[in-house]
Amino acid sequence: MRTDYACRDYSASTKDIFRKSTAIGGLKSASSALVLSAMAVIAVTPAFAQDEAPATADDSVRREATIVVTATKTGAQALEDVPFAIQAFSGESLTNRNIREGADLIELIPGASQVQQIGAGYRIFAFRGTGAGGPVGDGMVGYYLDDTPFGVPNNQTAPPLQYFDIERVEVLRGPQGTLYGQGSMGGAIIYRTKNPDMSEFTTEGEASLSSTADASDPNYRVSAAVSVPLIKDKLGLRLSGGYDYQAGYVDVYSDGPVGKPRLTDANDITAKNLQAVLLWQPTDDLSVRLRAWEFSTDQDFLSVFASVDPPYAANQGDVNGYDKRKARFYSNTINYDFSNFTLTNATSYQESLPGGFSTGLGLGPPLGTGVLKNGGNSDSFVNEFRLATNGDGPFHWVGGLYYQKAEGLYIFNLDFPSLSLDGTTLTKTENSSVFSEISYDLFGGKLVPLVGLRYYQDTRTSESVSNGVPANSKANLDATTWRVNLAYYPTEDWTVFFNAGTGFRRIVSQRVV
């Protein structure tokens, strides 16, 4: 229990598994007849606003109408007009709800859950059960930082973002195979980070102090940002950083939980991050945005305990466990508005530095107490080029090309006095896709049909060594995903829609131990 006080100013073989999922109208179904009789109907009224609790129905409608999202990649759109399962949270709403990390946000999403947490820097989330199959394989929930994905091969970790820097979070439930591609078969979370103020010098700050039951020390968190208009209304820079300390509350025993523990309140967590955003808008039609982000998490021992009441970790021997993660993420987005369409090119490079976790394993005779270590490093280059209509006409279209080249190294070591196992797996992928969605406004925009398609191809290799024995594999595969949608807007306050789509997950590399 936490009380807050805050102030603000290896792979022996590769399984060719392409898991597909289909969601229709927000509900999974195997029968089209059932789908038609259970068409999803959404009433966009104040009760569904993902923001402050409404004082009155009219007030909430006016406030909800100001929530604008860009998840359809066709420009800004009012939340209530988006005809599929979506939630949006403003930065102010996240602050007011005391949302400080991904696990807090997941609690606000229907059907979402945290399915695994090894340490502060390694969390896996699931939508409607997808993602609950364990840490092996690519992600089943897509994470996007602004316009490009966060993620590396054979890893499902969610980004440990500082929510102080978030302008808006958009949550898409159900397969997002056409616009967001691989890794989004369960849904996608899009994090929109804050831009600099282009007109005046501004500063922001936030600090909080809290306590956790069973911890001897307090938790504290500080964040700050400064925004500088280098050229007024043309060029702006925003710099931000944060430090988060969470006091440990878990006692550690060398053997069983008898007598005095070897360490008390041992699982301290320290998280740091730095971010810079440079925005250049030389004309009304052109914008260039550069972002650099570095984060690190350092936890003593793990978030896996023998007991939570009282909290303790047993059979650790003399091992001082840890979970350490550090990564850098660089991105660039260029937008240019022509008379009838918008060109967007988004590029990113993600570098996950060597890190991982270590823990003691006391298994008793004959093995005794050993040490388990898992870790690795990875990098990923992504580029997406797309065009989208931006006029007021009835025809709407978005299409683009996507490319990724990435690799991830996984290292495993298990060391007991009488037994030692070790292995490595290097997974490489070079994949590309082409995608498009088309819609047309009928009857003055009252009825809007949409169709979408994405074709994806991937060349993936896996190079493994297990206890000195090599094993390699290679796979070439492709997939086609689709989406159809029919939206009906009977009044300004109601949206009725039918949505059917597919998603996919890339091949799974089984790690050798």
The class of domain 197-501 in CATH terms is: mainly beta
Asked if 403 contacts 438 with a C-beta cutoff of 8 angstroms, the reply is: no
Torsion of CA 160, 164, 165, 167, to 10 degrees: 110
Decide: helix, strand or coil at residue 224: strand
Q: What is the pTM of this model?
A: 0.86
Provide the 3-class DSSP secondary structure of residue 81: helix
Alpha carbon distances (Å) from 359 to 83, 281, 316, 377, 445: 47, 50, 7, 19, 59
Residue 231 CB partners (closer than 8 Å, separation 6+): none
Say if residues 88 and 173 touch (Cβ distance below 8 Å). Answer: no
For 419-445, the three-class secondary structure string (H helix, E strand, C coil) is EEEEEEEEEEEEEEEEEEEEEECEHHH
d(CA 250, CA 445): 58
Nearest to 163 by CA among 380, 290, 281, 6: 6
Among residues of the chain, what percentage have pLDDT more than 70?
85
Q: Give average pLDDT by consecutive 10-residue segment, the chain, 513 residues.
A: 41 32 37 29 36 40 62 88 91 87 89 85 83 68 93 85 91 91 86 97 95 93 97 98 96 93 96 97 97 97 90 94 96 96 97 95 90 94 96 93 95 93 95 96 96 95 93 92 96 91 72 43
Q: Torsion angle of alpha carbons 26, 28, 31, 35, nearest 10°?
A: -20
3-class DSSP assignment, residue 372? strand
Answer yes or no: are the C-beta atoms of 275 and 193 closer than 8 Å. yes
Tally Cβ neighbours within 10 Å of residue 405.
15
The residue extents of the domains of the chain are: 197-501
The closest alpha carbon to 303, from 154, 103, 140, belongs to: 103
Beta strands in 120-194 (DSSP E): 122-127, 142-145, 148-149, 166-173, 187-193
- Contact assessment for residue 111 and residue 128, using Cβ atoms and an 8 Å cutoff: yes
Three-state DSSP class for residue 177:
coil
Contacts of 172 (CB under 8 A, 6+ apart): 71, 84, 85, 86, 180, 184, 187, 188, 189, 190
Write down the pLDDT at residue 134.
58
Kindly report the three-state secondary structure assignment for every residue of 271-333: EEEEEEEEEECCCCCEEEEEEEEEEEEEEECCCCCCEECCEEECCCCCCCCEEEEEEEEEEEE
Strands (E), 34-119: 41-42, 68-69, 77-78, 86-90, 112-119
- Residues with Cβ < 8 Å from 30, sequence gap 6 or more? none
Distance from C-alpha of 72 to C-alpha of 390, rounded to nearest angstrom: 12
pLDDT tens-digit series, residues 419-467: 999 999 999 999 999 999 999 999 999 999 999 999 999 999 999 999 9
Q: How many CB atoms lie under 10 A from the CB of residue 180?
A: 24
CB-based contacts of 266, cutoff 8 Å, min separation 6: 248, 250, 251, 252, 300, 301, 313
Assess contact for 245 and 208: CB atoms under 8 A: no
3-state secondary structure of 367: coil
- Examine residue 417 and say whether the peptide bond preceding it is cis (omega within 30 degrees of 0): no
- What pLDDT score does 37 carry? 26
Tell me the C-alpha distance between 389 and 397, whole Å: 6
Give pLDDT tens digits for 45-98.
Answer: 333 334 434 334 344 334 444 688 999 998 888 888 899 999 999 988 898 888
